[in-house]
Structure 1
Amino acid sequence: MRNTPVPTSERPSSMRRVVAASVFGTALETYDLYLYGTAAALVFGPLFFPDSDPTAATLLSLSTFAVSFLARPLGALVFGHFGDRIGRKKMLYVTYLIMGVSTFLIGLLPTFNSIGVLAPVLLVGLRFAQGFGFGGEYSGAVLMLTEHAPAAKRGFYAGLNNIGPVIGFVSSSGLFLLMNSILTEADFLAWGWRIPFLVSILLVVIGLYVRTRVSESPVFEQAQTKAADAKPRVPIAEVLRNNPKQLLLATGANISQFAVFYLFSVYTLSYGVTELGLTRTTILWAVIIAILINLIAIPYASALSDRIGRRKVLTTGFVITIVWAFPFFALFNTGNFILTLVAFMVMMVGYSFVYGPIAAFMSEIFPTAVRFTGSAVAYNLAGILGAAFAPIIATMLMDTYHSSVSISLYIIAITLVSAICVLVGRETRDIDLTADNH
């Protein structure tokens, strides 16, 4: 049955405010995350693990990167619980503050040379806090868009949230690139790397103001009018009891996009420098230009999913990723900037066809009463399986086999897992968000 419109409001001006709040919030959160990923690949090794050899230092640094993903399911449980019980909007204020303050404090951290082993311990603690906050941030922002949007454009509006990470990545990488280009190597390692972390506090203030102008989700408010005993007291228990299949399929469907993006945006930085002898500036420029494609491809793929269905668009993205896994490294390994850019751009098209419609798919697969919890837990479990260890696994594969072929096979294998999960599940485009059960 075609989904019935929820009696929402959403006049164009109201919807624009929801889009602005969600996209800006997700942009800041991903600015924080990707900034850390860039720093972990390029500078945290010598600053926080100086006694290690270069490969070990990179692995240790990337391990701190993975800590965020281990913290995310905990954040998903906490913020999902309260998001389903007392509201989406309230939780988004809390997650926003946690992320922003943690990132700012990383910029103030003393290094190993100043305080010894306490430096990496504090770094790991703040990275954990980042992950804990993000565990509720992304899913809450997507839900606000999904539950405010007109039924026929749900995929498009939910997908718009996913241009936030593009903005966040380009901003963080661009600022990192700027500091790296205008400072000497010594100054950059001494203090220049801190600037991008410190300026995030200004974005927090703006983001909090933007979010005050958005109303609570109308779908959530409608659900609140039901009898109190219809609301789950412990949403995660309800998910595990009544929606285990949805949780499993939603988690699996997300693994590929996580792995592909973090291999692309984090691992390629260290691979390009250590294996190909390219400069950080060259690789960052290629990554930034390629990621800008998502600003067009994500909205297009999301809107297309409203017309032909989520599964068809997602499957197209998986096919592109699998087909391009070997050409990607073949072109990258030439060391030629233009060929590298082609490799990166095509990979980002495949990624966009997954990352755009996956936003609506994740929200639609769970009923309203547990939608925040279910989607947040699934998304963040996928982050552990797909992204947390992807740069580490790629580094270890390269160190063991001395060939990018092993990494291409890894990309293909993990993408097949996501494709199977989407194909096993049913189409979600026509689901009624207000129904008690899906």
Structure 2
Amino acid sequence: MKKRPVTKAAVIGTALEFYDHALFGLGAAIVFDKQFFPAETPLAGTLGSFAAFAVGFLARPIGGVVFGHFGDRTGRKPMLVMTLLLMGLSTAGIGLLPTYDQVGLVAPVLLTVLRLAQGFGAGAEYAGALVLVAETSDPRRRGLWASLPGAGVQLGLLTATLVFTAVSALPSFETWAWRLPFLLSLVGVGVGLFLRFQVQESELFERERARGVSRFPALAVFRRQPRVLLIAFAANAPFGAIGYVLNVFVLSYVTRTLGLPAAVGLSAKLLASAVAIAVTPLFGLLSDRIGRRPVFLGAALFLCAFAFPMFWMVDTGHPGLVILAITVGYGVCVAGMFAVLASLLTELFDTRYRYSGVAIAREWTAALSSGPAPLVAAVLVAAAGGASWPLALLVAGCAAATAFAVLLAPETRRRDLTESVGKSSARAGAVI
């Protein structure tokens, strides 16, 4: 199978997923509190917006299990088509919702329902794209190729921020223009479907299907690779919390707590995403040369040390320092860890339940840590009277925890994906 069509379809589809996902985070931080919650209680509106954001993560583990199950039994490609449709249509639906002033409590209820649908589709979108690219790539450059859907993530975040920033400058932004970025998701759905229908199924999966697929892949991965799954859980949970504190909550912190214009936070997100697009494949390529663990640990430990200086820079209120801090923290450190996790996760799990294993490891931890992270951060800052030290402590602690988890993982750089973990581990001298 040619790598280029597969990679292009995976990257574009993942970009759309995170475009949709980022839009909801931006809306929750800037506009949803006014549109879908009572205007008389601003704090309640902010908490309600982030609660709706977090609710979407409750559906992601279910979506991960369902789509991962069928992805390991019927194929990677059909699941990627279905997740793309579900994500895009639910996002466009948000752009058509009535406001609280129009329908009262029905508005936040409808917002939550569509967020749940969005989360259900997202539960296996990135995992499926990651698995398909990894299974069709050159083993010597798997770190590079597997990191490219991660660059698609950043492309989606960048596009969402650009579009949202553009419409936020319109005088009609808070009346109707905020809906435009959500409706534009339909364009991405069309492009993504066109590309994904041209992709062939993974040859690795086809060989596995010929030998007989697992009846219940999600149960099999718990039974056959429990330690691998535990390591993947422990690495993903704190990492996800870091990403959503820096990518979602900090925007609210900059505007609501520090009183800076929304353009400052949005500019920080733009530059951070642009830098992340550039450095993600570089980190992936570096992991092909020196190993997955050294690259991941380097990025995680640097972020652990940088956490407090990062928020000191943010607290100065100087736009340049705010943008620089978020760019280094998210655009370099988080992007570096994310790039390496791509190949590490796919190499940890066997082919017969790789889709389920990656989806479960990512999405169950997302429900536990990623989704609630902005809400927890908001509560911590409120309890500290607006101080940022709880945020710095949270980021540093999570960076240390994810580094420790990866220390327990085997080095997977030279893993042969056609073999089971037991065989490849014995040959490499690793114990999993």
TM-score, normalization by structure 2? 0.95
Q: Find out whether 1:357 has 2:345 as its counterpart.
A: no
| One-letter amino acid of the structure 2 residue matched with residue 432 of structure 1 | D
Residue matched to 1:320: 302
Say if 1:290 and 1:264 are closer, same or farther in 2 by CA, change over 3 A. Answer: same
Contact 2:345–2:358 at 8 Å: present in 1 too?
yes
Superposed CA deviations along residues 388-438 of structure 1, whole A, max 9, x for unmatched, are 111111111111112211111111111222111110111111221111334
- Pick one of 162, 166, 178 that aligns with 1:174: 162
Q: Find out whether 1:196 has 2:178 as its counterpart.
A: no
What secondary structure, in the 3-state scheme, does the structure 1 residue paired with 2:71 have?
Answer: helix
Give 1:248 shift: 1.2
Superposed CA deviations along residues 181-218 of structure 1, whole A, max 9, x for unmatched, are 1x22xx21110110000011011011100111211111
- Pick one of 38, 41, 49 that aligns with 1:61: 49
Give 1:234 shift: 0.7
Q: Find out whether 1:366 has 2:349 as its counterpart.
A: yes
Question: Which consecutive segments of 4 or more residues in structure 1 shift more than 2 A?
Answer: none
Q: Find out whether 1:245 has 2:227 as its counterpart.
A: yes
Give 1:51 shift: 4.9
Superposed CA deviations along residues 280-321 of structure 1, whole A, max 9, x for unmatched, are 112101221122111121100001111111111110111111
Distance 2:135 2:185 in 1: 29
Contact 1:369–1:436 at 8 Å: present in 2 too?
no
Give 1:50 shift: 1.4
| One-letter amino acid of the structure 2 residue matched with residue 378 of structure 1 | A
Residue matched to 1:309: 291
Q: Find out whether 1:143 has 2:138 as its counterpart.
A: no
Distance 2:114 2:326 in 1: 31
Residue matched to 1:113: 101
Q: Gaps (5+ residues) in structure 1? A: 1-8
Residue matched to 2:143: 155
Deviates more, 1:331-340 or 1:79-88: 331-340
Residue matched to 1:44: 32
Give 1:55 shift: 1.4
Distance 1:299 1:42 in 2: 31
- Report the aligned-residue RMSD: 1.1
Q: Find out whether 1:102 has 2:84 as its counterpart.
A: no
Give 1:52 shift: 5.2
Residue matched to 1:3: none
Contact 2:127–2:355 at 8 Å: present in 1 too?
yes
Distance 1:286 1:240 in 2: 40
Contact 1:255–1:415 at 8 Å: present in 2 too?
no
Distance 1:257 1:410 in 2: 11
Q: Gaps (5+ residues) in structure 2? A: 423-432
What secondary structure, in the 3-state scheme, does the structure 2 residue paired with 1:201 have?
Answer: helix
Distance 1:289 1:56 in 2: 31
- Pick one of 205, 209, 212 that aligns with 1:224: 209
Residue matched to 2:425: none
TM-score, normalization by structure 1? 0.94
What secondary structure, in the 3-state scheme, does the structure 1 residue paired with 2:51 have?
Answer: helix
Distance 1:290 1:140 in 2: 25
Distance 1:279 1:407 in 2: 21
Q: Find out whether 1:410 has 2:401 as its counterpart.
A: no
How many percent of aligned residue pairs carry the same amino acid? 40
